[in-house]
Amino acid sequence: MLYAFFALLVLFIGFTLFRTLLLSRRETIPADLRFIPVNLEDAISRLSKAIQFKTISKQDASLVDGDEFKKMHSFLEKAFPQVHETLNKEIINHYSLLFKWEGSNPELKPMMLTCHLDVVPVEPGTEDDWDHPPFQGAITDEHIYGRGTMDVQSGVMAILEAAEALLKQGFSPERTIYLGFGHDEEIDGEFGASEIGRILAERGIELEFLLDEGLPVVEELIEGIKSPVALVAVAEKGYLSLELSILTEGGHSSVPQGKTSIARLGEALHRLEENPLPAKFDGLVKSTFESLCSGMPFPLRYAFANLWMFKTPLRRFLTTIPATDAALRTTTATTIFESGVKENVIPTMAKAVVNFRIHPNDSIESVITHVKKVINDSDIKVEKLFGYIEPSIVSSVENNSYRQLARSIRQIFPEVAVAPSLMVGATDARHYSAISENIYRFFPLRAEQSDLDRVHGTNERLSIENYGEMIQFYSRLVINASVSKPSETLKSVSVPVKPAQS
Ligand SMILES: [Zn+2]
């Protein structure tokens, strides 16, 4: 009996350790030092010129300076002559650009790379806080400064640099490649990406996959994981603000009658925050952590490798950390509360706004049903505020497109762990959902945690070396995803071992 028990115990330990080991292995990508020849100094000076156009998006569209976009279009024409000679260019809604690079094999579905031409304004009063003026495109020894260096004119320019460099090498894709550059992403993309997506859908285009801007390669993203992490967003959370309001009798504060509007609404809000939508340890979260496993300390690796045993405690643990909690569920946050005008008057009306970031497991409808059930007070009116967005579909990580994308990231950033993830903010990507099921969001920008404040903030900047990596990343992705024998294509290129510095 005792013997049988020990035999089982050994078997159990062996089995769970074996699973841990399996998950700890990282697919090794052979070190590949072949790069497309790019003169980085020239590329940086072209980026510096692009930064100088004030293609600023403003909430009031009548204040947008369309000439700046037109000037940028003519600059791109001069900067990338081969692209403009070989690819078909269309101007969409005056300021957005759509390029088509015809592939030789019409049987293959096209791929698409997107980024946006517009940038956010510089917050008035912060201009002097910049080390270099935001629209000067100043180049220092290590960096290029300016609005758009991180979000995301650098992306537009790196994609065009990659295409120009590949064309110079005589490269021609088998798969057709679209390049789409919207002009109003920062104000929801309703006239840019949305129109490009609509036109392509009208033409019956169905994409193999689309890559939009997204999360960068972040150092020290998750405590305990040593390597930098490249999170490829395969879905976007939805957005919903609900206004909750209640109207009661009110009256003089010297003769209160029952619960006030404030108390009733306060109780409802308290119940809502106490009972958020459920956290689920679903397929996406599982693949995120499995992909990051190899860099984790042993106990966590052991737990993730044996989810059948540890799913519930892991889910509980992850919901105690705000960032991972937000990845597991629809979040609930009360953001506005308004009531009362005078200290001795009981107000009749109380209202509040609660903001939800909707997990792809939920929908606007299911959130509203949950809210009404939890607050359980029929006198409280629940109304949607304008600007709501359903969560996106979740794109697969089991297809060739995702594998090619992950492979391209690791060929250029070999030390990085690549993992699928959920994006909390919205990008232009959602405007292409009618033409592709495989939509990914990733940007080959290296950032430390402290750099993330520079996006939409002060002293936005990009390292010159990183810009070289961006160009190499997009050219590698184009090669990997658009021809059937990528390695032969790379061999045919005469290549320096590092991105050319000058
Ligand atoms: Zn952006």
pTM: 0.87
The tens place of each residue's pLDDT in the chain, 502 residues long, gives 667 766 677 676 776 666 666 666 655 555 566 788 899 999 999 999 999 999 999 888 788 899 999 999 999 999 999 999 999 999 999 999 999 999 999 999 999 999 999 999 999 999 999 999 999 999 999 999 999 999 999 999 999 999 999 999 899 999 999 999 999 999 989 999 999 999 999 999 999 999 999 989 988 766 667 788 899 999 999 999 999 999 988 777 888 888 899 999 999 999 999 999 999 887 888 888 888 877 777 777 788 778 778 888 888 888 888 878 888 999 999 999 999 988 888 899 999 999 999 999 999 999 999 999 999 999 999 999 998 999 999 999 999 999 999 999 999 998 888 999 999 878 899 999 999 999 999 999 998 888 888 988 999 999 999 999 999 999 999 999 999 888 777 655 544 445 444 4
Catalytic residue status for 223: no
Beta bridge partners of 461: 145
Distance 185 CA to ligand 1 centre (A): 7
Distance 215 CA to ligand 1 centre (A): 10
Q: Which helix (H) or strand (E) holds 244?
A: strand 238-247
Task: Look at residue 428 and give its three-state secondary structure.
Answer: helix
Nearest to 113, CA basis, from 74, 83, 143: 83
Cβ atoms of 75 and 153 within 8 Å: the answer is: no
Number of domains into which the chain is organized: 2
Distance 60 CA to ligand 1 centre (A): 19
Cβ atoms of 460 and 147 within 8 Å: the answer is: yes
The span from the CA of 95 to the CA of 193, in Å, is 11
CATH code, domain carrying 434: 3.40.630.10
CATH code, domain carrying 271: 3.30.70.360
| Cβ-Cβ contacts under 8 Å for 199 (sequence gap 6 or more) | 92, 98
Domain assignment of residue 359, given as a range: 238-278+330-390
Mark whether 131 and 45 lie in a shared domain. Answer: yes
Cβ atoms of 172 and 479 within 8 Å: the answer is: no
Catalytic residue status for 185: yes
Mark whether 73 and 144 lie in a shared domain. Answer: yes
Distance 12 CA to ligand 1 centre (A): 49
Mark whether 48 and 128 lie in a shared domain. Answer: yes
Q: Could you say which DSSP state residue 329 is in?
A: S
**CA 381 to chain CA mean position, Å:** 34
Q: Which of 151, 164, 184, 185 is catalytic?
A: 185
Mark whether 88 and 172 lie in a shared domain. Answer: yes
Instruction: Provide the residue count of the chain.
Output: 502
